[in-house]
Each structure stands twice: as structure tokens, then as C-alpha cells.
Amino acid sequence: MPKLPAQYQNMQKRYKGLMKAVENLGKATRAAGPLNEKTSHLVQLAAAASVRSEGSVHSHARRALEAGAKPDEIRHAIVLLTSTIGFPAVSAALSWAEDVVVDRAMRK
């Protein structure tokens, strides 16, 4: 598993209870319905792209890959947003997701 971002690690140290609650909330929301783990992370990836959160795009792209998503599925989940969030936001999110895809390919 890749090393967590420094900011996330800092928050885990500083706000242990809060971060545990956030992690548990994520687990509970994924368990609350019929979507599988891969699809759940693709949905969360799209949401992260729509709010222009580079860290969350990295995180959910990585987790979607770990759950079995193909790089083209990750790209498509973002490209689908073009008419909703606009081309510039989609382009930025694609570049963030590509960071993860390329890094994973280099590790293999």
C-alpha cells in the first residue's frame, strides 16, 4: 500500500478521534448499499473531480485501481463529467488521476 500523504498523516496524529470517525464513516457509507467497492470509488472519484480536490482524486483513483478498476475506467469516470463540471475541471482531474495511473505502472 502506498504511503499516505503527509497532510493526512499529520491529521491522523493531531486528530486521532476525528480521523478514525472519518475512516469509519467511509466504510459505513460503502457498506450501506449495493454498489461494489470499485464502483463506489469511481463515484467518489467523480465527486472529488467535481469539487476540484486533487488529493481526493489521487486517493480515489488509487483505491479504485486497488479495487480492480482499469485505467480507462478511471479516465472515463472523469470524462463523463465534461458537460457537468466543464472541460477545464475535467482536464485538471484527468492529470491528477494520471499521476496515480503512471505511478502504479512504474511500480509494476
pLDDT at 65: 96
| In the predicted structure, residue 106 carries a pLDDT above the cut 90 | no
| pTM higher than the cut 0.85 | yes
Residues 38 and 10 sit within 8 Å (Cβ to Cβ): no
Give pLDDT tens digits for 20-47: 999 999 899 999 999 999 999 999 999 9
Count CB neighbours of 29 within 10 A. Answer: 12
3-state secondary structure the chain: CCCCCHHHHHHHHHCHHHHHHHHHHHHHHHHCCCCCHHHHHHHHHHHHHHCCCHHHHHHHHHHHHHCCCCHHHHHHHHHCCHHHHCHHHHHHHHHHHHHHHHHHHHHC
Residues 49 and 90 sit within 8 Å (Cβ to Cβ): yes
- With bands split at pLDDT 50, 70 and 90, how would you rate the model's confidence at 107? confident
Give pLDDT tens digits for 53-101: 999 999 999 999 999 999 999 999 999 999 999 999 999 999 999 999 9
